[in-house]
Amino acid sequence: MAKNFSEYYLAEKIGVGAFAIVYKAYSQLQKPTYGKIVAIKVLNEKIQGASESKVIKQFEREANIAMQLNHENVVKVFNWGKFNGRYAMIMEYVEGKNLNEFIHEPGKYGFPTLVEIGYKIACGLVHIHSHGIVHKDIKPENVLITNDLKTVKITDFGIAKVPRKWWQRDLFERAGSERRFSHISYAAPEQKAGHSDIRSDIYSLGVLIDELILVKLSIPDVPGKNEQDYFRRISEVIFKYRKTLRILSENLSIPEDFKSILRRATHDDPSMRFQTATEFVFALSRFIEESG
């Protein structure tokens, strides 16, 4: 495979998907167009089990959606095109990992740190929704976080729903993510039925924050609790208490006000949730101010 994409030289793989590979890439220029280091998402040369033309159209669509966005909590897509015969997307590089890797790795954190991560994702969602875009796949794998936990960014608009005319339809009506082993579904009930809107993203983010708090919260007063890995901590709740809990973190020693925010965000009835991401952000920011 050709190593040069525009002015950038592909280095190590940093992500592998069904139809594309993401590389860390470097520019040799003194004044690089998009920065010295970027991430480049390259479509596979051979597409397995799917129509190549459809995959290319979806790739173009994803790039065009993402290029509209410019926010500190959303991964920036600078450009896309065909370089050396391969379709590629040039993106901002985030020095860190995705949130799924973060929640599965060892280490527990204080409650305020975890709330701040959730708050930053919600801020990114406000910006996405302000462009009329429904992300539809808010899950840990689609959130990047730097190693110092200060920078948090939403990525991957592969199945996003865009503003449309009456004769157009959502290309991925029922698409959403469910984690097989822990039985966590990030897709809202109405999204599974093929009807999603901005409140569906709010539901997904509520589930994500709830999972994050349950798995990564430091609980110093319970011996051995901080040594539990992801699967031990999550299965303890899902298999013992799931039917009686509204949220996974229901039994944790965290403020009741915060539990109320999560319950509202993840309500099965969209009309009972926060109606906008701005409302969600306001509730989180007010909680942070009052508890700080």
Amino acid found at 231: F
Strands 37-43 and 77-83: unpaired
Known catalytic residue at 257: no
Long-range contacts of 254-263 (CB under 8 A, 24+ apart): 254/111, 254/213, 254/217, 255/287, 255/291, 257/287, 257/290, 257/291, 258/115, 258/287, 261/287, 262/206, 262/209, 262/210, 262/213
Q: Could you tell me the end-to-end alpha-carbon distance of the chain, in angstroms, rounded to an integer?
A: 52
Dihedral of alpha carbons 194, 283, 235, 109, sign: positive
Contacts of 202 (CB under 8 A, 6+ apart): 125, 265, 273, 274, 276, 277, 280
Please identify which of the residues 137, 156, 170, 201 carries the catalytic annotation: 137
Residues identified as active-site: 137
